[in-house]
Every structure is written in structure tokens, then in C-alpha cells.
Amino acid sequence: MSRGARLLAVAGATAVAVALVAIYVADFLAANPTPLRAAPAPRGAQLTLQTVASYGHDPHPDWVSYLARDGSGKWHHTTIFKVPAHALVRVTVYQYDTATGLRNPFWSQVRGTVGNTMTVDGRTLHALPPDDASHTFAIPELGVSVPLKGVGDNAPNQCSVAPCTAAQAHTTVTFTFRTGNPGRFRWQCFVPCAASFVFGNGGPMQSIGWMDGYVQVV
């Protein structure tokens, strides 16, 4: 093959690779779920979430996920939330998954919330035993980190298809954090809970709309 032909082949392969990367990035950005605005509340907003062991619907019915509820009570499969700036955001998480456990006990501490506390089924706590955690809700740039207690492995009436209901086995976690200036802040779960993926960190753990997303402070 002549030098010119080789250069042409390399240029063609490079163009194909660039096009594939562009398609992947565009598809990833277009796949982001629709943001959900937290419900208005005195001095701020109310954000209501649930975590489920499996979404139960296409495109990934067996993936673990978060969902969010709008002001009318309807659940949405989104992890992008809009909350007001310089306000108190009260978060309620209905946690339906069983415990996975934390590989790093650092995430067992409640940080960045009002009083550095949370309530779990009505009990005020500063921390959770690492083995009891199912997921976390953490916004590193805002210093917020809250471990979520899992339901018992043998708890009756466990949920398998989202959205789950109040009649199904769950724990209720509430906490409040204060926002500052407007901005977009990444949040995620730090429990490696993606079953069947290497080290539990693939799939839903890396996908916006499942176990991570953005808090848009506006």
C-alpha cells in the first residue's frame, strides 16, 4: 500500500471514530431525563424521592433507581431536580431496597444537613451502621451526604416494580439542607449497588436518571 493510501485509510478511520464519539455524546446528552421542580414549601421547597431495587420497566427493568414525585403526587423517572437558591430544601426519601453495605464508613455519617442529622422512621440520627446502608444521597459540592437505611432482607411485601407504594416495605428518611447561589451540582449514590456489573459500579451507578443526577439551584 502506498504512503498516500495509508494516510487516506488513517484519515478515514479517524473520521469514523470521531463521528462515533460525537453520536455517543449527543445520544448521552439527549437521553437526560426531564428536570423536576421541587414542590414549594415554607422558606424553600419539598423534594420527595424513592429508591427501588429494580425499576421494572424498559429500557433496564432490572436496574436499581431513584424516582421523584411532583407536586400533584405523580412519580417520575428522573434524577434532575430544580430547587430554589438561598432556601431550605426538605427531602423525604422512601427507601424500598434492602441493605448493600458501605465499603467506606465515611459515607455512614450524615453531613451537610441542618444539624448534621436525619430522621429514619421518626428517629433522629447522626450516622448509620455501615452495614445497614442501602444507598446514599450525596451532593459533594454542597457538602451534603446522607446514608439511607435498607429494609430487612426478609421483610414482607417488598416492592419489585416502580413506583412503589406506601403499603410496601420501606424506610422513611427525611433531612433538610440549605442551598446557596444558583448553580448545577452533581449528586450521586456512593453505594456500589449495580448488581452484575464489575465491582457494582457500572450501569445505573454511572447513568443520569438512575443512581445519579443533578441538583439545579435556580
Whole-angstrom distance, CA of residue 70 vs CA of residue 80? 12
pLDDT digits (tens, 9 = 90+) for 171-196: 999 999 999 999 999 999 999 887 77
pLDDT of residue 160: 87
The pTM of this model reads 0.84
User: What Rg do the C-alpha atoms of the chain give, in angstroms?
Assistant: 20
Give 61's contacts (C-beta < 8 A, 6+ positions apart). 54, 55
Which pLDDT band, with edges at 50, 70 and 90, does 26 fall under? Answer: very low
For residues 42-51, average pLDDT: 96
C-alpha cell at 123: 428517629
How far is it, in rounded angstroms, from Cα 191 to Cα 167?
26
Pairing of strands 171-178, 212-217: unpaired
- Percentage of the residues of the chain whose pLDDT score is greater than 70: 86
Provide DSSP, the chain.
Answer: --HHHHHHHHHHHHHHHHHHHHHHHHHHHHTPPPPEEPEEETTEEEEEEEEES---STT-TT--EEEEE-TTS-EE---EEEE-SSSEEEEEEEE-SBP---SSGGGGB-BSSGGG-EEETTEEESB--GGGEEEEEEEGGGTEEEEEEPBPTT-SS---SSSP-TTSS-EEEEEEEE--SSEEEEEE--S---TTSGGG-SGGGGSBTTTEEEEEE-
Contacts of 37 (CB under 8 A, 6+ apart): 70, 81, 82
- 44-53, 114-123, 127-136, 198-207 — which is least confidently predicted? 198-207
